[in-house]
A and B are shown apart, each in its own frame.
Chain A
């Protein structure tokens, strides 16, 4: 069993905040494909199309038959750890701060030997299952976990470096007026967040679900209007230093393409929330979070954005809305890079059409707010950078990976 993480004491403002260090950043291009799979929570290794050999470390040709036709595919994650060590000194600043660090040699059932992070509950020698996750520099690393769930397993310090659990952390959810924001706030509270700040615009106006939201344990209602730079800056001034996770659930949905009446006005409103709202939020909260990326148990950990999967390809019925989502997705890529030096994860939770008033004419399957809430918590607890909620989002993601141009024609029928 793992020692449970104890809630951190109140921070001593006189003490220095530990500056975030990054684990080694440099990787080969082949290795970045491992990272791409890990960012979606998939354990994939290169499999030779010619002879079936499973390879590791990532390479450019099969060591079984010299074929260059090798692709990353999900493989059997089971194996045995056959040796272990505990690193106690390192010349690398990131690990130097974090020793002792347990490492093992794992022989995978599907062939290769893997040097991996070793969970504290794994017995050596013994069976393990492997997971691929992103480390604090945003690169894939492999970790060997006990074959079956152990007590407080997620509290293992090496595992915690690869996740952004909301437990003991202070979270800001940006849209308390909407069902999605409310569901996410409830789920984060249940997942152990010590405080859930919930932003409400125009707080004098009552809204559906208000009483229920206010009754969620650890929820604190805060004034927040993402279209108002002063409002965002003021909130960051008040809680920015103690916000460990931001979950942006704001989303301004209107149907229409380019030729509709009043298109430009609504498009501007949509961009003001979906794109510039995200930008205001990132500008106000991002730098502080990046500086607190290694600040103990409740260090700044993640910036999550819940955005429509049509960020990947335009659906003309919601043409400018899709365009705002695409801009949002692009901004997230920028933010991911800017937050990386702090080890703060930028997570995209792509959703299919939400079941709400603006999308009554969209055929099912649609996504319920509680599904999104579950996905946000899972992304944080498991450290998944890109997740897709609902069947439509998964379908579009798959088509996008296959060929974005084909997807464009499919959606633009």
Chain B
């Protein structure tokens, strides 16, 4: 038996978080995705870093901080990548958090820059997708998945999200059409984004008529795994100005793992624990957000983010999507490059897609249809179905000078 301590110690009060002082994000890079490619993660990441340095007007050796996210670098990590790519950073990070990678990478990098531990941090997410990559990735994803989810039909993330979606529909009366609205709007947005994998218009009828994958998940609820890379720079405002780079200020971030472990099934993400802090630190509220980039491996999680990030109440997601226009020209621009559902899901780069797109939107560099006078963007990340639910969640608010 474990001895119970005689007296419970009083936890110190939670200190308020220090605001970010002149940390900026710049140089949004997207390497166009490919459904299947024989190239490796190293290759994709190299391409992103090359474009990043060229557009920033710096040499690769000027990168003194590097943050890497990839599922397919094995047996390498960020460490091996430094030698492979000839980089000599004094600050190095490896973020294995899938869809939450970009937010977490930015969080870490911001504090490093602020403290002077690094001056120019390159954050990059990239993954290979060879014909067998997805199957191999699944087979070695996590111990709980290996022991307790794959042996049950081996549906992969489709199976896990089917259960969450089914439960959400039962709890809040969401219908397939409600999820369809999200997918259809995102496809409209993708048609304005040249790099999107999906080039064909999607109607609600197409969505409804698609074949079932894992009920109630149907074909257009699923992302398409592909290869690609995304990257951005984190630095100080002074450096960005010296280099003449359009940039956005980092206002606030949150991060949470394994939130609400006692919920019998996932009905909310970690955002719900930390959302007040997110807005308080940024000094704004949901109404001030011009562009929202959610993590959209499945539409149900998009709906949960609308709720957990305060755009509507819990359970009001279905009504919210019925009454809002989620296209770039609409009253609630969301996943403005099409999200992973339409742009494609390039592994850990999928976690970067929204961040890079938001950065483009608020710095006047948009490749997709620009959201009018977009200034403030909220980027949300979500990742890692370890067993039955996504464990990592995070969010960041960026502020650009607008267009």
Interface positions of A (Cβ within 8 A of B): 23-24, 26-28, 30-31, 49-51, 56-58, 63, 65, 67, 69, 82-92, 94-95, 99, 101, 103-105, 107, 113-117, 124-125, 135, 139, 141
The distance in angstroms between the C-alpha atoms of A169 and B164, with both chains bound, is: 40
Shortest CB-to-CB span from A104 to chain B, Å, is 8
Report yes or no: B214 in contact with A105, Cβ–Cβ below 8 A: no
Interface presence of B85 (CB below 8 A)? no
Q: Is the CB of A115 within 8 A of B388?
A: yes
22 residue pairs A–B, Cβ–Cβ below 8 Å: A23-B154, A24-B146, A24-B154, A50-B1, A57-B143, A57-B387, A82-B167, A82-B170, A83-B170, A84-B163, A88-B211, A88-B212, A90-B154, A91-B135, A91-B154, A95-B154, A101-B153, A103-B159, A104-B163, A115-B149, A115-B388, A139-B151
Q: How far is the CA of A37 from the CA of B159 in the complex (A)?
A: 27
Of residues 5 through 40 on chain B, the ones whose CB sits less than 8 Å from some CB of chain A are: none
- State the CA gap A330–B131 with chains docked (Å): 43
Contact A89 B214 (CB under 8 A): yes
5 closest Cβ contacts across the A-B interface? A85-B162, A57-B148, A92-B154, A87-B153, A83-B167
Q: Is the CB of B170 within 8 A of A85?
A: no
Say yes or no: is B115 at the interface (Cβ < 8 Å to chain A): no
Known: A28-B143, A105-B163, A125-B170. A115 touches B152 (CB 8 A): yes
Task: Name the one of A69, A86, A117 contacting B152, with C-beta atoms under 8 angstroms.
Answer: A117
User: What A residues does B265 contact at CB under 8 A?
Assistant: 82-83, 105, 107, 113
Encode contact with A along B123-167: 1 for CB under 8 Å, 0 otherwise: 000000000001100110001101111111111101110111011
Whether the Cβ atoms of B163 and A85 lie closer than 8 Å is yes
| Docked CA distance A135–B148 (Å) | 13
CA A59 to CA B166, docked complex, whole Å: 27
Q: Which residues of B sit under 8 angstroms from A92, Cβ to Cβ?
A: 150, 154
B264 at interface by CB-CB < 8 Å: yes
- Chain B positions within 8 Å of A135 at CB level: 151
Question: Could you tell me the distance between the alpha carbons of A88 and B221 in the complex, rounded to whole angstroms?
Answer: 14
| Nearest CB in chain A: distance from B153 CB, A | 4
Q: Are B2 and A85 in touch, CB under 8 angstroms?
A: no
Cα(A173)–Cα(B90), bound, Å: 73
Contact with A along B160-189 (1 / 0, CB 8 A): 101110110010000000000000000000
Given contacts A84-B163, A87-B153, contact A65 B2 (CB under 8 A): yes
Interfacial chain A residues near B151, Cβ < 8 Å: 23-24, 135, 139, 141
Known: A24-B146, A27-B146, A113-B388. A89 touches B158 (CB 8 A): yes
With both beta carbons as reference points, the residue of chain A lying nearest to B143 in the complex is identified as A28
CB < 8 Å neighbour of A26 from B1, B146, B154: B146
Chain B residue at minimal CB-CB distance from A58: B147
Does residue B275 face the partner (Cβ distance < 8 Å to A)? no
Contacts of B233-280 to chain A: CB distance below 8 A: 261, 264-265
Q: How many whole Å from B23's CB to the nearest CB in chain A? A: 35
Residue of chain A at shortest CB distance from B211:
A88
Given A50-B2, A85-B163, A103-B163, also A91-B147 (CB < 8 A): no
B78 CB–A CB distance under 8 Å: no
Once A and B bind, how many residue pairs between them come within 8 Å at the CB atom? 125
Residue from A99, A105, A114, A141 with most neighbouring chain B CB atoms (10 Å):
A105
Question: How many residues on the B side are at the interface (Cβ–Cβ under 8 A)?
Answer: 40
Contact yes or no, B134 A91, CB < 8 A: yes
Minimum Cβ distance to chain B for residue A223 (Å) = 43
Given contacts A57-B387, A85-B166, contact A67 B154 (CB under 8 A): no
Of the candidates B1, B148, B265, the one having the most CB atoms from chain A within 10 angstroms of its own CB is: B148
Contact residues in A for B215 (Cβ distance below 8 Å): 84-86, 88
A63 in complex: contacting residue of B158, B163, B261, CB < 8 Å = B261
- In the complex, which of the residues B2, B154, B170 has the most CB atoms of chain A within 10 Å of its own CB atom? B154
Distance between Cα atoms of A212 and B213 in the complex (Å): 55
Please, how many angstroms separate the alpha-carbon atoms of A115 and B164 in the complex? Answer: 11
Given A24-B146, A31-B147: A86 touches B214 (CB 8 Å cut-off)? yes
Interface of chain B residues 52 through 101 with chain A (CB within 8 A): none
Query: From A102, which residue of chain B is reached at the shortest CB distance?
Result: B153
- In whole Å, how far is B77's beta carbon from the nearest beta carbon of chain A? 23
Query: In the complex the two chains form, is A103's CB within 8 Å of B155's CB?
Result: yes
In the bound complex, do residue A28 and residue B153 qualify as a contact, i.e. CB atoms below 8 Å apart? no
CB <8 Å contact, B2 and A89:
no
Q: How far is the CB of B298 from chain A (nearest CB, A)?
A: 12
Q: Which residue of B lies closest to A95 (CB)?
A: B154
Closest A residue by C-beta to B148: A57
Contact A115 B148 (CB under 8 A): yes
Once the chains bind, are B264 and A82 in contact (CB under 8 Å)? yes
Q: In the assembled complex, how far is the CB of residue B157 from the closest CB belonging to chain A, in whole angstroms?
A: 11
B238 to chain A, nearest CB (A): 45
Please indicate the chain B residues that have their CB under 8 angstroms from the CB of A114 in the complex: 148
Q: Which residue of A lies closest to B386 (CB)?
A: A57
Does the CB pair A84–B166 fall under 8 Å?
yes
The yes or no answer to B292 lying at the interface (CB within 8 A) is no
- In this assembly, does B217 line the interface, its C-beta being within 8 Å of a C-beta of chain A? yes
Measured in the bound complex, the distance between the Cα atoms of B215 and A99 in whole Å is: 12
A27: chain B residues at CB < 8 Å are 146-147
A142 CB to closest chain B CB, in angstroms?
8
Interchain nearest-CB distance for B366 vs A (Å): 36
Binary flags per residue of B195-216, CB closer than 8 Å to A gives 1, else 0: 0000000000000000111111
**Nearest-CB residue, chain B, relative to A85:** B162
* CA distance in complex: A67, B265 (Å): 24
Tell me which of B154, B217, B264 contacts A107 (CB under 8 A).
B264
Q: Which single member of A56, A67, A95, A124 contacts B153 (CB below 8 Å)?
A: A95
CB contacts (< 8 Å) of A67 on chain B: these are 2
Contacts of A105 in B (CB 8 A): 163, 167, 264-265, 388
Contacts of B149 in A (CB 8 A): 115
> Is B146 within 8 A of A83, CB to CB?
no
